[in-house]
Chains A and B, each alone.
Chain A
Amino acid sequence: MAEKTTSDKKLLLVEDNPDDRDLTLRALRSNNLVNEIVVANDGVEALEYLHGAGCEERDLPQLVLLDLKLPRVSGLEVLERVRKDKRTALLPVVILTSSIEEEDRLRGYGLGANSYVRKPVDFERFTETVRQLGMYWLLVNEPPPMYG
């Protein structure tokens, strides 16, 4: 099995809310942290991108920013399927959501989320949060070896 490289500074953003999506993209871009941002508008798209047709040709993202409340397939379900699949089992996934419900945090970590971050309402703090996430996961953190 050939080692599949994670594309340098490639990030998958799973977010259904266009406002949140735009704000997140805005925050990410303002910090110049990423080379490539892939956006999935819901869970189905995210899974399609990670496991679907033609995924062999694609490099895996270095980080997945995953919203929880998504139409069709929920964020937690996406996480579960990602972890079950050998190809993406070790993929760094950070839950980025509005909720700090105890239940969400328990299940998120239970399913193997690497981090759980709440989106602040204050856009300055939101930008700062996203910046820190990008800094850490894209620059500081060493990704696991990935196998296709």
Chain B
Amino acid sequence: MRILRRRDKSDTSGETPPATPLPRSRRTYLPPVLIFAVLALGVGAGGYLISRSQSAALRQQSAKQLESIGTLKSTQIASWARERLADARVLQSDAFLAQAAQSWLTLRQPNVQAQLTRALQALPTQYGYADAVLFDAQGHPRLSATPVDVGRDPTIASTVQRTLASGSVTFSDLHLTLGGRPALAWYAPLMVPGRSAPVAVVGLLSDPNTFLYPLIRSWPTSSRSAEALLVRREGDDVLFLNELRFRAHTALLLSLPLSQPDLPAAEAVRGKTGVVEGKDYRGVAVLSDLEPVAGTPWFVVAKMDRSELYAPIVARQRLILVVVIAILAAAGLVLVLLWSARERREARRLFAAERALRELNLTLETRVSERTTQLTAANQELEAFSYSVSHDLRAPLRAMDGFSQALVDDYGDQLDETAHHHLQRVRVAAQRMGTLIDDLLALTQVTRYEMEPADVNLSALMHEVVDKALEQEPDRHVEVTIADGVHARADSRLLRIALTNIVDNALKFSRGRATARIEFGEAGDEVGGPVYYVRDNGAGFDLTYVHKLFTPFQRLHRADEFPGTGIGLAIVKRVVVRHGGRVWIEGEIDKGATVRFTLST
């Protein structure tokens, strides 16, 4: 029956194969997405690294270029300033000029004045000065190369006085004249032997617009943002000395606080050299090279907008980005193609597997049906066998017994005692075999019986079984303990047979006790479910032979001690096994026995 039922189940599951294709879960797309992510990460990282190293190289190249330009500018300006100082020193050491000046300033000879004027006029012509002026020992301008009147300029006057006082060449830094023009000058004291104070001063006045500013402004390459600045410190400010490229009227007019952050000019004045990043006077991000100009209070700032300087870097980065994206797109496309091919293969494989499974199911069904047929045949055979045993095997026994008795009845007086005894033994044997056959039939009946599991009140059933058993032996003194409310899902008829056999055994083996005790209850759990037990205080048994107890017709006691065929526990076991349970027995000689069983139906 269980197999039949199981077959039903497999039938229903076999008839409804999964009609819908397997759902395309997210998991299906996870591997390619992962592969793509790893790829993207790798290519992206590679692109980033290449871009970074290239950017660094480009940046370094730009910095080098800027630095060389800055250095060149500062060197050029420094050498120009040094030359101008050297011009002044040459004049200072010109003894003829000094004597001529002294002579003319004292005596005013016209021919000497002409000589002096020629000498002064030679200086702008030959060295590019704006003017050359001769001052007397009081600091008044007396002669000049050009007819410009410089007498009222306070800067010139004060510097001439300083030159007269110091007796050495004095530099007058860039400044604005009264006319608002930028100017710078060198003053050379003229000395004659025998006099410690200068007899006169020659001022070499320079217009920065003629050489210095163009020198600064010139840039070796064409650039839309490149610019060089000349700055110097003025108190807490940085003063821009030349005219700026991007702002008009700044020469000697624009000054910015030293504290302005990131201002390269301020950093240069504070003593920093080399290439720095920062924001220039416009607030534009620039890369600058800062160089001090030797022999002057000036600093050159050679700078370029970072946007221009880094344009190739950005272009390169864009190119790399495009290449990376192109590679990833191509890789993604290849991946998609590969994966969809794989998916198709997988789907085909799955389909084949499913078909194989369906075929297997069909074979399985056939096999189950074959088995069922075989089992049914076996059951039918057992039926037929039992039927035959039931009908045919007992008749000869009855004949043996009957005719033995007939012999005694009819010819008893002709037989001696031994003959009577032998005939009696024939009858006992025949009757015993009759009992054995009946027991065997009882066992097969338990096997063949169709189970109908239901909720069974084991406590109540036990009471009934014990009461019925005690009816057979009204004179026995038996103490019965049955736990209340023990329930199980089982076939009540089979269970009644099992409990009857257990109780019969318990009563049989406790026959020697003045008070027999039978106890039923539930104790603990096994794998199969709750464990039920029936305990007695009977003769018990030798545990060595416990394995034999559940085999049909195996007995551990002699027939003259306790009668029986040895079928009881075999029947109990058959009943328990049919319920999917387990039965075992514990005991000791003279200490009683405990039958325990589980029922998992």
Which residues of chain A have a CB within 8 Å of any CB of chain B? 17, 19-20, 23, 26, 68-69, 97-104, 119-124, 126
Contact = CB atoms under 8 A, between A and B. Distances in A.
Given A17-B395, A98-B395, A121-B397, A126 B402 contact: yes
B403 interface: yes
Interface of B: 386-387, 390-392, 394-399, 401-406, 427, 430-431, 433-434, 445
Given A19-B403, A26-B406, A121-B430, A99 B398 contact: no
B82 to A, nearest CB: 138
Given A20-B395, A69-B392, A98-B394, A121 B387 contact: no
B233 to A, nearest CB: 127
Contact of B398 (A23, A69, A100, A103): A23
Contacts of B404: 123
Given A17-B395, A69-B392, A119-B394, A26 B402 contact: yes
Which of A68, A97, A120, A122 has the most chain B CB atoms closer than 10 A to its own CB?
A122
Nearest to A98: B394
B395 A123 contact: no
Given A17-B395, A19-B395, A20-B395, A123 B390 contact: no
Nearest to A124: B405
A100 B387 CA distance: 9
14 contacts: A17-B395, A19-B395, A19-B403, A20-B395, A23-B399, A23-B402, A23-B403, A69-B391, A69-B392, A98-B392, A119-B394, A119-B398, A121-B434, A122-B431
The 8 closest A-B pairs by CB, nearest first: A121-B434, A19-B399, A123-B402, A99-B390, A23-B402, A123-B405, A69-B391, A98-B394
Given A19-B395, A123-B398, 5 more contacts: A23-B402, A98-B394, A121-B434, A123-B404, A126-B398
Contacts of A102: 445
A109 B386 CA distance: 20
Contacts of A69: 391-392
A98 B391 contact: yes
Which of A19, A99, A102, A123 has the most chain B CB atoms closer than 10 A to its own CB?
A123
B398 A20 contact: yes
B156 to A, nearest CB: 149
A145 to B, nearest CB: 35
Given A19-B399, A26-B402, A123-B427, A97 B434 contact: no
Nearest to B397: A121
B434 A122 contact: yes
B429 to A, nearest CB: 11
Which of A17, A98, A104, A121 has the most chain B CB atoms closer than 10 A to its own CB?
A121
B391 A121 contact: no
Nearest to B394: A98
Contacts of A23: 398-399, 402-403, 406
A122 B394 contact: no
Contacts of A100: 390
Which of A98, A102, A126 has the most chain B CB atoms closer than 10 A to its own CB?
A98
Contacts of B398: 19-20, 23, 98, 119-121, 123, 126
B396 A19 contact: yes
B402 A101 contact: no
A123 B424 CA distance: 12
A104 B396 CA distance: 20
Contacts of B431: 121-122
A130 to B, nearest CB: 11
B49 to A, nearest CB: 91
Contacts of A121: 394, 397-398, 401, 430-431, 433-434
A44 B401 CA distance: 29
A2 B401 CA distance: 46
Contacts of A98: 390-392, 394-395, 398
A142 B400 CA distance: 36
A124 B406 CA distance: 10
A68 B391 contact: yes
B391 A99 contact: yes
Nearest to A67: B391
Given A19-B396, A102-B445, A123 B401 contact: yes
B136 to A, nearest CB: 161
A102 B431 CA distance: 22
B391 A97 contact: yes
